[in-house]
Amino acid sequence: MSLDADTIVVGAGIVGAACAHALAASGQRVLVLDDLRGGATAAGMGHLVVMDDNAAELALSSLSLRLWQQWSTQLDSDSAWHPCGTLWLAANAEEMQAAEEKQARLQAQNVACTLVDAVRLQSMEPALRSGLHGALHVQHDAVVYAPNVAQWLLLGPTAPAHLQLRHAKVVAIEEPHVRLADGSVLRAQAVVLANGLHATDLCPDLPIRAKKGQLLITDRYPGTVHHQLVELGYVTSAHHATGPSVAFNVQPRPTGQLLIGSSREFDDTSRTLNFPMLEQMLRRAVDYLPGLRDCNAIRSWTGVRAATPDGLPILGPHPTRAGLWLAVGHEGLGVTTAPASAQILAAQMTGAACPIDPSPYRAERFSQTTLHHAG
Ligand SMILES: Cc1cc2nc3c(=O)[nH]c(=O)nc-3n(C[C@H](O)[C@H](O)[C@H](O)COP(=O)(O)OP(=O)(O)OC[C@H]3O[C@@H](n4cnc5c(N)ncnc54)[C@H](O)[C@@H]3O)c2cc1C
């Protein structure tokens, strides 16, 4: 029986696109299917940031930033690559101590970063309120416009041969084949599930939970902010929170607009804005950047992150469904971690050497409690 592709990838967000690109680059015939409903890639902030909540997250994100540097030399201008770096802001002595500890962890992974005192911080970002204690400057963090990078990976001049994108909704995976909404079946040797939050529609045993976020973008105010600004309290106030939370997170877009985040609400997949939460988020932003009070807001929107219980993505074979591979659960860091995720997945599928230890990201870590073949 003839095959439609060696591998079918379900989902053309940044993760599916990166996986498809990596597999096709290894010589496979890859077919990407996307139903155009859109996902987190189109809704997110596109901040490429080394995160270090745990060793596995640091390994994945620091490798990814190195891969992004390689991509950056080829990206087109629509990708809006902007190597602005990140300033992790310390509001008090305790957070300055956290900045020093973060610096030690990042430098152990050869991530370039320097501590900045209050005076230097004020000269780097004069729009910040006075009284901050300093910051950690992570030089090689950057920002992109992720939906256009996904397009570039699939359709741009560097897209490998034998990489095809088709608009179709997958309604079932009969590994290693897929059934489409029109009843037809496409055949392959392997299927990669990379459809973000909707992974559980096709693989209900995955431990994925929705974490909604809101963003707001302003009119153009070039030169107001120069780096992505994130409060160091972000890790405690938002990233690890178990209930609704907000944190100060502002990104200078190459257009001069300011993209303001961030918020987190669990188990809400609706697209509606939560105005009290938005107000809380903006109050926090104005607290750090008082001049924002006078800026015009143009648009606000929501997106939903696909979160696993430990915050790490699931990359590798499904434990019991032979022929089904998983690249899901990238939560709030999937734009950053897409390149390394793709390398890790492709290496496991093709038998190539993995660039880092893949075991922290494999689905088996959940198999005792949550993951089984739902049949
Ligand atoms: C508010 C917000 C801010 C964020 N900020 C950042 C940030 O600054 N930095 C960062 O690194 N990450 C950030 N993220 C996270 C990041 O956006 C996601 O982790 C990443 O985009 C996930 O990509 P994905 O390809 O896995 O999924 P998605 O982008 O959700 O793509 C899934 C695709 O699958 C398709 N699909 C779904 N079901 C089917 C089906 N049955 N058949 C066919 N196609 C299907 C959808 O149409 C969609 O195109 C943010 C997310 C949000 C919501």
- N residues, the chain: 375
CA dihedral 165, 166, 172, 174 (to 10 degrees): -60
- Give the span between the Cα atoms of 56 and 37, in whole angstroms: 31
Query: Omega of the bond prior to 176 within 30 degrees of 0, cis?
Result: yes
- Sorted by where each begins, the domain ranges of the chain are 7-43+146-207+310-366, 86-139+209-307
**pLDDT of 234 higher than 60:** yes
Q: Quick one: fold of 7-43+146-207+310-366?
A: FAD/NAD(P)-binding domain (3.50.50)
241 confidence band (pLDDT: 50, 70, 90): low
As a whole number, mean pLDDT of residues 79-84 equals 97
**Ligand 1 atom 30 nearest Cα:** 39
- Give the span between the Cα atoms of 371 and 199, in whole angstroms: 13
Q: What CA–CA distances, in Å, run from 17 to 66, 153, 352? A: 18, 6, 20
**Ligand 1 atom 35 nearest Cα:** 11
Q: Which of 191, 205, 235 is nearest to 49 (CA)?
A: 235
Predicted confidence at residue 367, as pLDDT, reads 72
As a whole number, mean pLDDT of residues 68-82 equals 97
As a whole number, mean pLDDT of residues 157-171 equals 96
pLDDT tens per residue across span 294-304: 999 999 999 99
What's the CA-to-centroid distance between 14 and ligand 1, angstroms? Answer: 7
238 confidence band (pLDDT: 50, 70, 90): low
Whether domain 86-139+209-307 has CATH 3.40.630.30: the reply is no
- The chain-wide mean pLDDT, for the chain, equals 95
Distant-in-sequence, close-in-space partners of 162: CB < 8 Å, separation ≥ 6? 24, 27, 28, 29, 30
**pLDDT of 332 higher than 60:** yes
pLDDT tens per residue across span 283-330: 999 999 999 999 999 999 999 999 999 999 999 999 999 999 999 999
Strand, helix or coil for residue 294: helix
What's the CA-to-centroid distance between 355 and ligand 1, angstroms? Answer: 24
Pocket of ligand 1 (CB under 6 A): 10-16, 33-41, 43-47, 169-170, 194-198, 201, 213, 215, 303-305, 330-336
As a whole number, mean pLDDT of residues 331-357 equals 98
Predicted confidence at residue 19, as pLDDT, reads 98
370 confidence band (pLDDT: 50, 70, 90): low
Which ligand 1 atom is the nearest neighbour of the CA of 212?
53
Residue with token string 């608009």: 167
Amino acid, single-letter form, for residue 327: A
